Structure 1
Amino acid sequence: MSAQPIPGRVTAAAEGEVVVFVIGMRINRWRAVRHWLPTLRAMPRMLKELSRDRDSGLLGYRTLAGGPRELTVIQYWESREKLLAYASDPGKEHRPAWAAFNRRVRGSEGSVGIWHETYLVPAGSYESIYVGMPAYGLGAAHGVEPVALRGERAKERLASA
């Protein structure tokens, strides 16, 4: 991803359905490092694995800190099938990390929390605009194009998505 702002007004060049997966963790008990640190370390390994494999289906992601206790990753996927295939593949990082988390959480008394949300957004139900920004979010995942190709107003872009 380029750190240079893209001149002018652009929009995401996404076509068809968009798959957005949001996942996060929350540290509930700072002193219970043995419960939350492995969870914190697992996500970068998964993202690295997915980023190296062009066929994985992960198009892009953005990591956000929600204060000192929370971390969120927004992911954009090629399809729901590829997202679900990765989640269930025993040969990839996710399955062992999920199993280890479940073992640790039994005795953790709520020391760490995790959550995720999956959004399957149909064509015509999303739009975007980026002004003075580098490629970001949906635009980083799918590429960008001039706003004029999809419409100058959000209403027009929603109709053409």
Structure 2
Amino acid sequence: MPATPIPGRTTAALEGDAVVLLIGMRINHFWAVHQWLPVFLAMPRMLRELAKDPARGLLGRVLLTASPRTYYVVQYWDSKESLYAYAAAPDGYHHRMWSLLNRKERAGKARQHVGLWHETYIAPQGGHESIYFDMPPFGLAAATGVLPVERRGRTAAARLAHRPADTAPADTPGT
């Protein structure tokens, strides 16, 4: 994230649906380092893999911690299809790690030393908006670009109602 804030109010430049994946882990037993450390290290490897191939669809991400036990990533994707394709791609690191976890679970070797979770949100155009005040590009704006808030509207309602020029309803004569 650039250190220099953009003065005033800005909004994310995203046109269309917002595809957001929250994915993370919880360390259930700190002493079981051999169990949770490989999981902890897998996410940065996946993010590097995605950064090397922008065509896979990851637009941006934010790494966060909820506690000393819980770590997660907010990911912004160009489409749900791209997200699904990466998750299932046999050449991707995610697929290899998920396959390994499933094999361990079937063999009864999976332990409850580390918890995994994800939540996926698809917010259609008109179902998401953003505003940033004196902030460097962050979150959705860092992933999709920044616009002056006036381009979308000064209020949340106006930003939610925004439609790109090519999808805006046509003017009806006499209205």
For the 8 Å contact 1:29–1:111, the answer to whether it is kept is yes
Unaligned 5+ segments in structure 2 are 164-175
The 3 A distance-change label for structure 1 pair 102 and 35 is farther
For the 8 Å contact 1:29–1:112, the answer to whether it is kept is yes
Structure with larger Rg: 2
Of 145, 157, 173 in structure 2, the residue corresponding to residue 143 of structure 1 is 145
Q: Which residue of 1 aligns with 2:64?
A: 64
Give the distance between the partners of 1:11 and 1:100, measured in 2 at CA: 41
Q: Which residue of 2 aligns with 1:119?
A: 121
Runs of 4+ in 1 over 2 A off after TM superposition: 100-109
Residue 81 (1) aligns with residue 109 (2): no
- The residue identity in structure 1 corresponding to 2:131 is I
Unaligned 5+ segments in structure 1 are none
Give the distance between the partners of 2:46 and 2:88, measured in 1 at CA: 13
- The residue identity in structure 1 corresponding to 2:132 is Y
Give the distance between the partners of 2:156 and 2:84, measured in 1 at CA: 31
The structural deviation recorded for 1:7 is 1.4
The structural deviation recorded for 1:92 is 1.1
- Residue correspondence of structure 1 range 34-45 to structure 2 within 5 A: 34-45=34-45
Percent identity reads 53
For this pair of structures, how many residues does the alignment match?
161
Residue 27 (1) aligns with residue 27 (2): yes
Residue 131 (1) aligns with residue 118 (2): no
For the 8 Å contact 1:6–1:132, the answer to whether it is kept is yes
- The residue identity in structure 2 corresponding to 1:100 is L
- The residue identity in structure 2 corresponding to 1:120 is I
Give the distance between the partners of 1:96 and 1:30, measured in 2 at CA: 25
Q: Which residue of 1 aligns with 2:156?
A: 154
Give the distance between the partners of 2:70 and 2:41, measured in 1 at CA: 14
For the 8 Å contact 1:3–1:134, the answer to whether it is kept is yes
The structural deviation recorded for 1:151 is 0.7
Give the distance between the partners of 1:57 and 1:119, measured in 2 at CA: 15
The structural deviation recorded for 1:108 is 4.3
Q: CA RMSD in A?
A: 1.3
Name the TM-score, length of structure 1 as normaliser.
0.95
The structural deviation recorded for 1:104 is 4.5
